[in-house]
Amino acid sequence: MTTNIDIVRDHYSASARGNIQEMMANVSPQVRWTEMAGFPCAGTWVGPQAVADNVFAVLDRDWIDYCFELESLIDGDGGHVIGVGDYHGTFRATGKAMQARVVHLWTLRDGEIIAFEQFTDTLLVDQAMHGD
């Protein structure tokens, strides 16, 4: 039986390979995906296509070698999984590298990701984007 942690781990593995189709395999058609205020893709996006277009396509377009490096997964209660790790990448426009600590809160129900929320140090991301 596939667990919630398996689903999130599979998403991260697909992300590391750059396979958007596999990343969205277990994402609900009504997913609510929230990128933190101050992040380049800030907002709440509804549906896998909106997430792909407004988050992953933007990161791919604006950053060189942008990635999430997973450190640990925590199985929470009530269908929650927490991913802890670091973002890495170089902002194309400034050529400045960034590394920022991040926590992802995943909510799953019946084998589908129904919500995602990101928590990160947006100042470090902003400094790379503006060359400060």
Q: Answer whether 0.85 is exceeded by the pTM.
A: yes
pLDDT of residue 131: 66
Give me the mean pLDDT over the 55-63 stretch: 95
pLDDT of residue 132: 56
3-class secondary structure, 94: coil
For the stretch 65-113, pLDDT in tens is 999 999 999 998 889 999 999 999 999 999 999 999 999 999 999 999 9
Cα distance between residue 43 and residue 129, in whole Å: 18
How would you classify residue 71: left for phi > 0, otherwise alpha for psi between -120 and 50, otherwise beta? alpha
Name all domains of the chain by residue range, CATH numbers in brackets: 4-130 (3.10.450.50)
> In Å, how far are 38, 40, 123 from 13, measured between CA atoms?
26, 23, 27
Alpha helices in the chain (DSSP H): 4-17, 20-23, 48-51, 57-62, 122-130
